[in-house]
Structure 1
Amino acid sequence: MLELKYDRRPIIILFFVVGGFYPLRGQHLARNLDRQNNTSLSAISSKPALKWKFQTKGKLFSSPVICGDMVFMGSCDSNLYALNKTSGDILWKYKTGGEIRSTVAIEASIVYFLSADGYLYALDVYTGRQLWRFSTNGEKSYDVWDYYHSSPAVADGVVYFGSGDHHIYAVDAKYGKLVWKFLTGGIVHAAPTLTAENVYVGSFDGSFYCLKKDGTLQWKFKTVGERYFPKGEIQFHAVIADSIVYFGARDFNVYALDAYSGSGIWVYHQPGSWTSIPSVFDQGLVVTMSDSYSILVLNKMDGVKLAEPKVPLNTFSSASIAGNEAFFGTLDGVIYRLNIKNGEVSPVFQTGSSGQKKQLFFNEEGMLRGDLQQKYAHDITRLFDDYLQMGSVFSTIWIEDKCLYFGSADGAIYALE
């Protein structure tokens, strides 16, 4: 075994084999390439306490990924951070030319992520040394609620990702050379979801694409659209389970399609609210949403609603499921636990920023203040920007060894136990 040291402090123990470090197994946003975001771990403390907190200099919209003893997360201060999982000490950081709103993918001891500077980066996991970078035609934002950039998926020596230049890319994972690219009709900020044969990803053009691994189109599905969002934009990643692909869209619908043919299986309509991201448990889905201030529990075979517990504010990340519980954060800067069996939601942790600023937006009864409309003169863009003062949680929580890891708009990476 070999001990690496930075700043005279031991940071990680790694297995050494002939030819170099033993390659770490793949890790992605929502844990796996199917994006189900489900782990059998349970027994999370009813009131998890702060284990450590690491402060960056920018807002955090990406999600942490743990691989071995290291936590990886990008910040809007343009740095990718590698931290010690146990202590939160910094191991290394890498500066890019733009905000990092992409969650990393790790495969064969290489960490991949996108930056707002328009590059896909490949770094050595242990040192942060750049191995290569690949240039797209540039990033762009769709609107103020377009919080994330695409998070890569890596399989069989290829990195797949979407871009603000309207393309879906496949890049050689070792050398950073283009394998193929596919043009859609809009920005692609969803993370690709993979099976052995296909790549699945939605676009802000309102179409959901199934591509073969060679970059040719297998099938395409167009969302219904809605009066105020006629394109039916697809902002977030899909989930695949039992040959069915599930995803949400801005037209207030959750879609379930046959993964092989793209034919419809069911559609669930949520009045007045975008649907964000499904996560899978047993026979059901936990679906996060925005404007309805609630969480959906659906039967995954027919889309029948099983429960819809209320939450205080919008939820944009996916719910992380551990056994019969789901964990997620909202724009109010609080982490919540959903008991999937009885549909009850309870708070488990509040960021410091939330404790200081939540009274600016919520009254003593926990309801949004009635004077917000007058104060913001119906300027919803400014209102949502100010919500971030509460340390809003956009991260998909990573659950590991009974601990919860996430980032916040207050710029801090948190570990709870």
Structure 2
Amino acid sequence: MGIRLSSVILIAASVGLLSNCSGIRLRQPLRSTEYDWRLFGGSETRTNAAPQFLEPPLKLVWSYDASAGFGPSALSAKDSVLFIATLQGELQVISIKDGERLGWVSLGSAIASAPVVDGTTVIVATADEKNNVISYDFSSARKYWKRTAGPVESAPLSVGRLIIIATLNGTLLALDRDTGEERWSIQVSQPIRSSPASDGERVFFGCDDGAVRGVNAITGNLLWTARTGAAVFANPIVIDSLVIVGSLDSTVYAFHVQSGEIAWKYRTSGMVYAPAAGFEHRAVVGTAHGDLLCLDTRTGRLLWSALGGDAGGVINAAPLIVGNIVYVGTLDKQLYALELSDGALRWQTELPGRMKTSPAVFGKRLFIPVENRIVLCYRSTSGEE
């Protein structure tokens, strides 16, 4: 695998700034590795894909009880540490190696999305109306800065030195990563539940008004607006110079990143709530009907379909591509592993709860959050870790 699960140590410590709760203090800095999953979707493009191989069948290594539920996304990973955000307002930190809790901090209100892990800080957005975007410095166990953005359900995005936040008040704003100062904001008429994505120059997001928008990442200037037929809850992914996103009108759309012009669209059998996963000219999309579809990103052509009907339950969380395998969980408590090339089923296991939260991966470990407050860690039964 090329990486060792190092013995990074965190300690829980009392911090006067955070009354009646514990803190997270890092004794050693977290190393940057090629396997880091430091924000929802794995990168600013939100493609939910990693190049390493994680061959099924998998075996359960550990399970962790977070004592609270999870939002649409909850997990980020860096070095040997897994960060877990809960709807109870806690940010929990556990060891990737054995699932032992290393520390936690209460941040007040529900956290519905995965944090951004950046250097020695972790940036979290909560459902509070005020002071709800928080930069927590885990080298000193203190809140570094906090800003008011409005209630947030989507995941924060890191683009260069900016943190992009989308709110249920219909605001998209950019904050300075180091100070929390606002750099720009734009306002739309309806809530934004879609987590923004970026190609490094532009930021893209869906909205309850059925539109997908592209804005300049540096200035916040609106570049284009494209329309779908219904609300867009899923976040877009950026792949092959396209913005690909599903809508509640049961259609997957691909828009050109520069112009917003439609490249193609594909009608599915059910509404699309979950983000797609994208890798090597393929976009994998799950639907509320339980179908898992693989589309050619260049043409929109259907390459294969799997699950669906009596064979699969509602897909409410993003698929995850790890090398040549697609992992996807369903609301009927099943976790599947399929070949990316042709959709052939390679492995299946029953989960202890419904899967409504998107998974994450670090190296050769797969993390699955399920509805009954549990995070499961799987690894391959063959090969070195």
CA positional deviation for 1:347 = 4.9
More helix by share: 1
- Distance (Å, rounded) in 2 between the aligned partners of 1:103 and 1:155: 16
Cα 1:40–1:220 shift into 2, 3 Å? same
Cα 1:275–1:255 shift into 2, 3 Å? farther
Pick the structure with greater CA Rg.
Answer: 1
For 2:206, the aligned partner's letter is G
1:132 aligns with 2:145: yes
Cα 1:52–1:412 shift into 2, 3 Å? same
> What residue number does 1:216 align with?
221
- Distance (Å, rounded) in 2 between the aligned partners of 1:102 and 1:120: 12
Q: Secondary structure at the match of 1:185?
A: coil
For 1:206, the aligned partner's letter is G
- Distance (Å, rounded) in 2 between the aligned partners of 1:91 and 1:128: 13
Cα 1:196–1:5 shift into 2, 3 Å? closer
Cα 1:195–1:5 shift into 2, 3 Å? closer
- Distance (Å, rounded) in 2 between the aligned partners of 1:262 and 1:203: 15
Conserved? CA contact 1:334–1:347, under 8 Å = no
The alignment's C-alpha RMSD in Å is 2.4
1:120 aligns with 2:133: yes
Match of 2:208 among 204, 213, 219: 204
> What residue number does 2:360 align with?
398
CA positional deviation for 1:250 = 0.5
Conserved? CA contact 1:78–1:115, under 8 Å = yes
CA positional deviation for 1:128 = 4.7
Show the 5 A alignment for 1:150-161: 150-161=154-165
Conserved? CA contact 2:12–2:102, under 8 Å = no
CA positional deviation for 1:164 = 0.8
Conserved? CA contact 1:407–1:413, under 8 Å = yes
For 2:142, the aligned partner's letter is R
Percent same amino acid at aligned positions?
19
- Distance (Å, rounded) in 1 between the aligned partners of 2:27 and 2:144: 22
Show the 5 A alignment for 1:371-390: none
CA positional deviation for 1:346 = 5.3
Q: Secondary structure at the match of 2:328?
A: strand
- Distance (Å, rounded) in 2 between the aligned partners of 1:401 and 1:26: 9
- Distance (Å, rounded) in 2 between the aligned partners of 1:6 and 1:45: 35
> What residue number does 1:173 align with?
177
Q: Tell me, which stretches of 5 or more residues in structure 1 are unaligned?
A: 16-20, 140-148, 226-231, 353-390
> What residue number does 1:295 align with?
292
> What residue number does 1:64 align with?
75
> What residue number does 2:244 align with?
246
TM-score by length of 1: 0.79
1:321 aligns with 2:309: no
Show the 5 A alignment for 1:287-366: 287-290=285-288, 292-311=289-308, 312-345=312-345, 347-352=347-352
- Distance (Å, rounded) in 2 between the aligned partners of 1:32 and 1:107: 12
- Distance (Å, rounded) in 2 between the aligned partners of 1:12 and 1:171: 25
> What residue number does 1:54 align with?
64
> What residue number does 1:375 align with?
none
Residues 171-217 of structure 1: per-residue CA shift (max 9 Å, x gap): 11111122221111211121111122211111111111101121110
TM-score by length of 2: 0.85
> What residue number does 1:78 align with?
89
Match of 2:99 among 67, 79, 88: 88
CA positional deviation for 1:313 = 1.2
Cα 1:315–1:94 shift into 2, 3 Å? same
> What residue number does 2:121 align with?
110
Aligned length: 354
> What residue number does 1:285 align with?
283
Match of 1:412 among 374, 377, 380: 374
- Distance (Å, rounded) in 1 between the aligned partners of 2:141 and 2:306: 42
Residues 31-58 of structure 1: per-residue CA shift (max 9 Å, x gap): 1111122222114331x22211111222
For 1:70, the aligned partner's letter is V
Cα 1:240–1:332 shift into 2, 3 Å? same
For 2:334, the aligned partner's letter is V
Q: Tell me, which stretches of 5 or more residues in structure 2 are unaligned?
A: 1-5, 14-24, 380-385
For 1:267, the aligned partner's letter is K
CA positional deviation for 1:2 = 10
- Distance (Å, rounded) in 1 between the aligned partners of 2:264 and 2:78: 36
> What residue number does 1:193 align with?
197
For 1:299, the aligned partner's letter is D
1:14 aligns with 2:28: yes
